[in-house]
Chain A
């Protein structure tokens, strides 16, 4: 026997080992179900290779290793795979992790297995692979895959192989009993390890509280050819800690943050040695281990050879647990083991002890007193730390300081907590601090990463911006050139058609706008007053009426001025031509609609027919007017575009007024009568505007114009419109108050564009058919509708919030109305598109609408079925199959319909 060294500190808790050494190791019963976790150690979880329903044999691989730090998992008895699902695993958190659940059949039928004849003949790498395949992982602490440690010989020089037979934790006797009964097998396992690692020196370290085990070992070692030293040291906790063991055996310290192999030392547990022996000589994978069952809550404490995956319940039953006395169930020893919340936890490769303690045995820790820095913790710390300082730092969350005091060298052995007279849960403080530091570091890494990405993005955006700027400049230059050319042309054109001096139309327009704004404000004030039931409503109403009159007057003046300002003598045959063309197109469309309606037998036929007739008349009129103009008869020219604008705005006004009316009717507002009158008035106005427009339209005339200049005009206008629309869109999205104004601007621009286009068309421009027919993007339309709906919803919430007393109700309400209108627009566009598609489909003999409805119904059915199923799952989990089938059928139907539908919509 050799001398040994010593490490700092350590404690001597009562050993309590005798209780479980009275009996030899018993074979644990086969449980009904085995729950085998896929991850039983640090490193990657194994990947299951069996499926639910498969029959597996004892020793069969059920999950394969993934990556280097991972080992295979084997079935520990024969049976059928019942599930592969998350189950509670032995972990401090009590959380769940994926497990293979096997319903055993009681046959315990082995898969074919056979050991190696002579492992020395195999190549080292093959032998290590063989060990890895048999799922051998460290059976002491963290369950580190053994093959990784055996590979260490490749890039480290291994001087010393240390076998850990310390078992320093109180209560645990699994290794002790294993050595007593299987010492030869352990030594045989050591021989295999020595073959792989070729160490200069092999030491078995044990404590002097296991004399029987020591004798058995000595006997086995004498029989072995290897020169193995057995060193027995005085019992002190935690001599079984890897670092402490190395210090005890060799006097060398493992440098902080390094592994023992860095100093030429490999440590293995004796249980691991036995497992290697079983695998190499008998082909038995690691499917069972010795577990100590002890604690005062057990009537029959002893050691058992339990299958991996056996629930604690089975073992506790075998040890005759007194359920009522069980207070604390610990996996592992009392110093470093962790509590488990219930007994459905399975045995894993590192389960060396199940400690079922009563409340008297392990009472709850009394409330902690303040730390008095007595320094007892420091005297016992095997890592030579300053536990009390670490405690202060952890408590004050001064993690930097804690790190600087070598917090991460703490092995969490619990010696400090054990001796603390103030009963402070020191280890928990360190665990907390370590976890926080790790989380903080991870967060810091993430933040740095995010910063880098952010900076990269900024750079990219800047670059793009610069490129855009460059392109814009180039375009601007080109445009300037073009502008110069056009200016030239325009000037010439202007000289020809110089109009009479415009009366003060602008001023009138401003006045009208001002009047309108005032009116609006007054109306709003009135409305809010009405809502709130304030006094002085009459006065307000009077003001509103007055303002209405004023606004009407201003508008009238403006309209007159505009009419009067129109160049009287202009011949506008192109417009007439366009009008004629438009009328023709409309006629055609109407005819088509009629045709379809007749075919499908839907819609109001008479109305459509009437429309067609009307349009026919109009088209004829337009044609005649045009022809008349062509032939030189020039009636008084009218600004058709202006008229159209007036008509449109009138239409909008009517619409708005109608809505307001409907609202107030719904609200039972007292101003309904007045509003109704207003609506009527507006309608009249609209009618007159319409007739004006139509008359003008019919009287339009055309004239020969420079075709090219007109086209340029048109394109420019189109560009402007597009830009303006985009701007408007953004404005609306931002809820900018200027959106309304912009909308008006866009309308104007559109008008201009329309004018330009018509001018060009009239002048003989040929528009591509594809262009003429406005391309409708169904998806875009649908999105538009969707977007609008969302916005509307948002606005609604805003209104509700406002009603609840947060924020400005009026503002929210007006925003809501605006959005409603937008939504209506989008919806209409979509509906129109849909109608068109409908028609198309109708032509093919399929009623798209019906199809759509069917599809929607099918979808709804699916949803319903899903809900029902969910509910059923909660309430009566038995009868699910039927429902699942129904759901499947519904899904199929919906899918079919969707496909049919998509043929038409896309």
Chain B
């Protein structure tokens, strides 16, 4: 009888202790809001292009947090899929069919002679990167353009082009060196091992 009592008391004591600990932790380490959505949103490219089927990046982030597929973001490319897979600890899947793994950064360009000033593109632009008034020629603020191409479709006279972002001296960068062995495999096959290995 005594033993049972001791056991019960011991368990009860432990329960109380851990309960307090958990309660304390819950208060101390409480997280405000849903940081997961913020984190996912932070990984998305913020083009707000809607190619994922959601009206903007944040809604898609919310959808991902709710369990939607992570491969619906063509502007982000495969790297975004991988980053999301890392964050959510799920399998990195290839992008949806038809999307390039490493999309080229684009920027919208209005052929200003042909612009009729209909303001349709201004309404379509999710980041207010197009400047112009009704019946006035419009122009794209390049630095603000996310390259979402949402403005291309509404243009009634097809005067908006998506051009690859020009790269210059300032953003030139070194490539990742080609792995030595693969280089070698190629040359090996041709039977002209250059420079000799070791």
Interface residues of A (CB under 8 A from B): 91-93, 95, 97, 363-370, 394-395, 423-425, 428-429, 431-432, 435-436, 438-439, 443, 446-451, 453-454, 456-458, 779, 783, 786-787, 790-791, 793
Contacts and interface: CB of A to CB of B under 8 A. Distances in A.
Nearest to A368: B180
Contact of B156 (A370, A432, A786): A786
Interface string B153-175: 00011100000000011011111
B46 interface: yes
Contacts of A457: 126-128
B48 A367 contact: no
Nearest to A45: B169
Nearest to B126: A454
A457 B125 CA distance: 10
A783 B156 contact: yes
Contacts of A432: 173-177
Contacts of B197: 366-367
A546 B173 CA distance: 73
List 8 tightest A-B contacts by C-beta distance, closest first: A368-B180, A435-B173, A367-B180, A447-B46, A787-B156, A431-B174, A450-B46, A453-B127
Nearest to B184: A367
Nearest to A451: B46
21 contacts: A91-B169, A92-B174, A364-B195, A366-B180, A366-B195, A367-B183, A423-B180, A428-B174, A428-B175, A431-B173, A431-B174, A438-B173, A447-B44, A447-B46, A450-B46, A450-B144, A453-B129, A454-B126, A454-B127, A786-B157, A790-B158
Contact of B195 (A93, A365, A446): A365
A364 B128 contact: no
Given A428-B174, A439-B173, A786-B156, A453 B144 contact: yes
A202 B62 CA distance: 62
Interface in B107-155: 116, 118, 126-129, 135, 144, 146
A846 B180 CA distance: 77
A368 to B, nearest CB: 3
A787 B154 CA distance: 11
Contacts of A92: 172, 174
Contact of A450 (B47, B168, B176, B184): B47
B171 A439 contact: yes
Contacts of A365: 195
Nearest to B105: A443
B181 interface: yes
Contacts of A439: 171, 173
Taking chain B's interface residues, is the majority helix, strand, or loop, or is none over half, making it mixed?
A: loop
A438 B173 CA distance: 10
B56 interface: yes
B78 to A, nearest CB: 12
B20 to A, nearest CB: 36
A93 B157 CA distance: 39
B156 A451 contact: no
B57 interface: yes
Contact of B127 (A364, A394, A450, A793): A450
B157 A451 contact: no
A774 B153 CA distance: 32
A451 B181 contact: no
B84 to A, nearest CB: 14
B25 interface: no
Contact of B172 (A95, A428, A448): A95
Nearest to A443: B45
A449 B158 CA distance: 28
B146 A450 contact: yes
Interface string B46-83: 11100000001110000000000000000000000000
Nearest to A359: B195
Nearest to B155: A790
B135 A779 contact: yes
Contacts of B177: 368, 424-425, 428-429, 432
B33 interface: no
Contacts of B181: 367-368, 370
B169 A95 contact: yes
B46 A436 contact: no
A230 to B, nearest CB: 38
Contact of A454 (B48, B171, B195, B196): B48
B169 A93 contact: yes
B120 to A, nearest CB: 9
B179 interface: yes
Contacts of A453: 127-129, 144
Nearest to A431: B174
A438 B172 CA distance: 11
Contacts of B146: 446, 450
Given A92-B172, A431-B174, A790-B158, 12 more contacts: A95-B168, A97-B169, A367-B181, A429-B176, A438-B173, A443-B45, A451-B58, A457-B126, A786-B157, A787-B156, A787-B157, A790-B156
B194 interface: yes
B21 interface: no
A368 B116 CA distance: 58
Interface string B89-109: 000000000000000000000
A458 B46 CA distance: 14
A156 B48 CA distance: 46
Contacts of A95: 168-169, 172
A451 B41 contact: yes
B4 interface: no
Nearest to B79: A397
A450 B143 CA distance: 10
B156 A366 contact: no
B144 A435 contact: no
B11 to A, nearest CB: 45
Given A435-B173, A450-B127, A451-B41, A366 B198 contact: yes
Contacts of A446: 46, 146
A423 B181 CA distance: 12
Interface in B1-56: 41, 44-48, 56
Contacts of A364: 194-195
Nearest to A95: B169
B178 to A, nearest CB: 9
B116 A786 contact: yes
A456 B157 CA distance: 29
A436 B173 CA distance: 8
Contacts of A793: 158
Nearest to A93: B172
Contacts of B183: 367
Interface centre among B58, B128, B129, B176 (most CB of A within 10 A): B176
A451 B144 CA distance: 11
Interface in B182-198: 183-184, 194-198
A370 B172 CA distance: 28
A424 B58 CA distance: 42
Contacts of B45: 443, 447
Nearest to B116: A783
A779 B44 CA distance: 42
A345 to B, nearest CB: 14
A450 B156 contact: no
A176 B183 CA distance: 41
Nearest to A363: B195
A807 to B, nearest CB: 15
A202 B174 CA distance: 39
A429 B56 CA distance: 36
A432 B47 CA distance: 25
A431 B181 CA distance: 21
Nearest to A91: B169
Nearest to B47: A450
Contacts of A424: 177, 180
A576 to B, nearest CB: 43
Nearest to B159: A790
Given A365-B195, A448-B46, A450-B127, A790 B157 contact: yes
